[in-house]
Amino acid sequence: GAVVSQHPSWVICKSGTSVKIECRSLDFQATTMFWYRQFPKQSLMLMATSNEGSKATYEQGVEKDKFLINHASLTLSTLTVTSAHPEDSSFYICSATTATTDTQYFGPGTRLTVL
Amino acid sequence: TQLLEQSPQFLSIQEGENLTVYCNSSSVFSSLQWYRQEPGEGPVLLVTVVTGGEVKKLKRLTFQFGDARKDSSLHITAAQPGDTGLYLCAGGGSSYKLIFGSGTRLLVRP
């Protein structure tokens, strides 16, 4: 149980285009989802916290207009990287929690490469 | 700002050796989690400790939470090549957010 999926697993796009990444909780309802970013050989950095039906809360230094987060249902959150640039190339990972536990269940990640 | 420092940053050892990874902070956490991550994959939860002084064992892995809940350690006995990976500690607070440590990259040579 507690499986989280991400789609796509990898994506390559041209500079200036937008990319949408999906995060789904497959067998449970996720009241809260988190989006992280990880650069090569570094740790995870929290970008934003997303609650179903409300606006995401962004961490300091994360541009909310560039990284659009939508949590429209209890099983789906999306991260859209708008007008992507090469410096946005990174490994993006989501996680999800339920209302009854603070354990975060992580997705397998999405590798974004912006050319 | 809550920070978690891990040491060492990188460790390369021979199969069969023992090792300890440390996770230290000046902040108190309500829980401390340890994850292992392999390249190109998401982190996988190994253990959660919540009580100061708590010790948990998972086969050859021993986890300890400091009495003051500010630090933790992971000890691996008789390391195997399959233990190779990035080990991350993460501190939990009241908001369900996790603060991740800087990470320890372990390489176990056959």
Instruction: Give exposure, A71-103, as e/b (b: 16+ Cβ within 10 Å).
Output: beebbebbbebeebeeebbbbbbbbbbbeeebb
CA dist A74 and A52 (Å) reads 6
- Determine which of A58, A104, A113 to mutate to test the interface with B (most B C-beta atoms within 10 Å): A104
pLDDT at A91 over 70: yes
CA dist B89 and B100 (Å) reads 6
CA B70 to chain centre: 13
- The phi, psi pair for B80, rounded to 5°, reads -125, 155
CA dist A33 and A51 (Å) reads 6
Least confident of A6-15, A25-34, B13-22: A25-34
**pLDDT confidence of residue B88:** 96
**pLDDT confidence of residue A54:** 84
**pLDDT confidence of residue A23:** 96
**pLDDT confidence of residue B109:** 97
What is the average pLDDT across B16-38?
A: 94
> Average pLDDT over chain B, rounded to whole?
93
**pLDDT confidence of residue A41:** 84
Q: Using CB atoms and an 8 Å cut-off, which of residues 33-62 of chain A contact chain B?
A: 34, 36, 41-46, 49
Terminal Cα distance for chain A, rounded? 37
Contact of B39 with chain A, judged by CB distance below 8 Å, is answered with: no
Least confident of A60-74, B29-43, B91-105: B91-105
Nearest neighbour of B102 by CB, restricted to A43, A49, A103: A43
CA dist B12 and B62 (Å) reads 19
Residue scoring higher pLDDT (B96 or A69): A69
The secondary structure element, H or E, covering residue A110 is strand A110-114
Nearest neighbour of A107 by CB, restricted to B31, B42, B48: B42
Residue range A54-66, pLDDT digits in tens: 889 999 999 999 9
- The phi, psi pair for A88, rounded to 5°, reads -85, -10
Which pair of structure tokens corresponds to residue B60? Answer: 């050859």
Residue range A16-73, pLDDT digits in tens: 999 999 999 998 888 899 999 999 888 999 999 998 888 899 999 999 999 999 988 8
pLDDT at B1 over 70: no
CA dist B98 and A96 (Å) reads 12
pLDDT at B22 over 70: yes
CA dist A24 and A6 (Å) reads 6
Asked if B42 and A49 come within 8 Å (Cβ–Cβ), the reply is no
CA dist A112 and A29 (Å) reads 27
pLDDT at A112 over 90: yes
Asked if A49 and B97 come within 8 Å (Cβ–Cβ), the reply is yes
* Diameter of chain B measured on Cα atoms: 42
